[in-house]
Amino acid sequence: MSTDQELKKTNSSHKEFQSLLDQDFKDRKLKENEIIKATVSEITKNFIVVDCKAKMEGMIPIEEFKNDDELSKIKVGSQIDVYLERIESFKGEIIVSRDKARKMKAWKKLEKVFETQEEMTGYITGKVKGGFITTVDGLPCFMPSSQIDIRPLKRIDHLMNTPVKVIATRIDKNRGNVCVSRRAVLEKSKNAEISEALKNIKEGSIIDNAIVKATTDWGIFLDINGVDALLHVSDLSHGRVKKPVDLVTIGQKLKVKITKIDKETNRVSASVKALTEDPYENIEKNYKVGKIYEGEVTKIMDYGCFVKIEDGIEGLIHNSELDWTNRNIKPSKVLSVSQKIKFKIVNIEKESKRISLSYKAILENPWDKIKNQIGKEAKIKINNITDKAIFGELIESKLSGMLHYKEISYQENVEDLKKFKKNDVLNVKILEIKDDKIRFSKRALEKDPMDWFKDNRKKVGDIITTRIHEVLKTGVKVAVDQEKKLIVTIRKNDLAKDSADARPEVFSKDNALDAKITELDLNARRVKLSVKAAQIDEEKSLIAKFGEGATKSGATLKGIFEKAIGKKGKK
């Protein structure tokens, strides 16, 4: 056979072999981007060589087998799942990945278990902002810090790179993100244990060995046969409890009654006071309003003092019921904690469990003594001076009262307040006592200038002679009595009959001035004088005596008098 014939035969054989090989690969139906089965054909230092029944063997970096300690388990001939990226690269090589196969398989598994909330095994491999990287079947997932345990952990070294049970809580298919939770697994297990334990506990059950686990200002946490229970501060006693820590210690055993079990949250509420009878149930039989009893001061507040009447029953003495003389006295200045005192019950509110007490009710009431002192002289010490009055306390009884500026003197001048200062002692008269309020008067100790009208039998219509005390722009002030204690203002329009003569500036101090009493009210201390009215009365008197001509234009009182004198002389 010639060389050409042999060459043609060889090429024909190659083509036939290639055709058979291509047909064999075609029958294998390899598809890119899918997971396929591969057999380990060789294990080298850097690669795992696998037979994928392709034209060439695939080479996978050995690092992809180090997760989950897989490298120690595989050997030549082992079948593994790999991810087929390319059947043939530009170099003619097949490209496969064990890592991507594991991740794709894990993702599909996660999608299923996310719906069923099945538990999976993961490895916490690293820490990131806000949480940890947790690898589940080769797929990196995110575990928030709050989801690593039921309670906050200071350290998690013991959990790093060790198998932990987790549940998928969120899957983002678009971003390829998965969130997992170890806490959900622990809570699920804990809830199962609690549910089992709660089968032996019922509402109304009495537990003798509840163990104190922790205390707060608002309650106590108990361990009841493995179940957590809350004993609220309001359920510790029928009375008021300052702080639970004052009553119990950690590890102490308590006898409690189960008052409530929430089946949905597995929360248990317990009570100590439910084991005893409510002392307020029959309180009206044991304590009467208006009666005096004895108790112990337990707490002092700005607004009053709490007093223990008996176990579980407390009353409040408001600061207005501490002292007769000072309704706003500071409670700590009167009573002290642990002090034994007597008190009177003022009011009992059974429904709201409130009892009002009075401490001052057992003390001597100075108001009873002072009631018969109205109209009598007394001494007061000035405590305060305002722009309208003086406030002072009686030296003997310490009761406080008011001295209005109008009661300082009969002139009723507000400037009189400037004559006094704090701590001055004054002699006053007690004018009035009403609603625990006292009204004083200093001027009442002196003779009332208004009595001049009584003493001189003066009444409305009488004409009196006064002395000008002060000239004002709106009129004049005149002194009615010689001592100048009774000062009356005559208005400008009452100074003269003729307006031309009714000018204040024509009058001088100490000049005599006749005026008519036009108004007089001794009770209201009101008097009104008028020079004009006096002149009108005088003219009427002259007219009646000398005729109408006495009042013609140009006539004067002097002329009238001269005329009258002249007539008398002729006669």
Per-residue pLDDT, 294: 94
Phi, psi angles (nearest 5°) of residue 54: -110, -175
Domain 117-188 architecture: Beta Barrel (2.40)
Please say whether the beta carbons of 408 and 385 come within 8 A. no
Is 2.40.50.140 the CATH classification of the domain at 22-101?
yes
Return d(Cα 443, Cα 405) in angstroms, integer.
10
What are the φ/ψ torsions at residue 57 (nearest 5 degrees)?
-80, 150
E strands present in 19-94: 34-43, 47-51, 58-61, 79-86
Judge contact between 380 and 428, C-beta under 8 A.
yes
Burial of 62 per CB tally in 10 Å (0-12, 13-18, 19+) = middle
Residue 14's pLDDT is what?
Answer: 59
The per-residue pLDDT for 6 is 58
For the structural domain made of 200-275, what CATH number should be given?
Answer: 2.40.50.140
Alpha helix positions (H), 82-129: 98-116
The whole-number pLDDT of residue 568 equals 43
Q: What is the pLDDT along the chain (571 residues), one digit of tens a residue?
A: 555 555 555 566 556 655 654 555 454 567 777 778 888 888 888 888 888 877 778 888 888 777 666 777 788 888 887 878 777 666 667 888 887 887 777 777 777 778 778 888 889 989 999 899 988 877 788 999 888 888 888 888 888 888 999 988 888 877 778 899 998 888 877 776 666 666 677 878 888 888 888 888 888 888 887 778 888 888 888 777 777 887 888 888 888 888 888 776 778 888 888 888 888 888 888 899 999 999 999 989 999 999 999 888 889 999 999 988 888 889 999 999 999 999 999 999 988 889 999 999 998 888 888 888 888 899 999 999 999 999 999 988 888 899 999 999 888 889 999 999 999 999 999 999 888 789 999 988 888 888 888 888 999 989 999 999 999 989 999 999 888 888 899 998 888 888 888 888 888 898 899 999 999 998 888 899 999 998 888 888 887 777 665 555 444 555 555 555 454 444 3
Judged by DSSP in three states, 247 sits in coil
Say if CB 132 and CB 148 are below 8 A apart.
Answer: yes
Q: Where are the domains of the chain?
A: 22-101, 117-188, 200-275, 283-362, 366-445, 451-551
What is the assigned CATH class of domain 366-445? mainly beta
Q: How far apart are CA 271 and CA 278, in angstroms?
A: 13
b/e sequence 503-535, b meaning 16+ C-beta within 10 Å:
ebeebeeeeebebbbeebeeeeeebbbbbbbbb
- Quote the radius of gyration of the chain (alpha carbons, Å): 56
DSSP state of 443: G
Per DSSP, 103 falls in state H
**What DSSP line would sit under 132-196, residue for residue?**
EEEEETTEEEEEEGGGS-SS--S--GGGBTSEEEEEEEEEETTTTEEEEESHHHHHHHHHHHHHH
Does the fold of domain 451-551 match that of domain 22-101?
yes
Q: Which two tokens stand for residue 322?
A: 């501490």
CA separation, residue 168 to residues 99, 105, 121, 180, 189 (Å): 21, 15, 11, 4, 16
CATH number for region 283-362: 2.40.50.140
* Residue-by-residue DSSP string for 474-539: SEEEEE-STTS--EEEEEGGGS-SSTTT--GGG--TT-EEEEEEEEEETTTTEEEEEHHHHHHHHH
Cα dihedral 305, 309, 312, 315 in deg (nearest 10): -40
What element of type H or E holds 314? Answer: strand 313-318
425-434 and 304-310 beta bridge pairing: unpaired
Neighbours of 361 (CB within 10 A): 17
Look up the CATH architecture of domain 451-551.
Beta Barrel (2.40)
b (16+ CB within 10 A) / e for 234-250: ebbebbbeeebeebbee
Torsions phi, psi for 430 (to 5 deg)? -80, 110
Gap between the Cα atoms of 56 and 93, Å rounded: 6
- For 567, phi then psi, to 5°, come to -60, -40
Cα-Cα-Cα-Cα dihedral sign, residues 487, 493, 498, 502 = positive
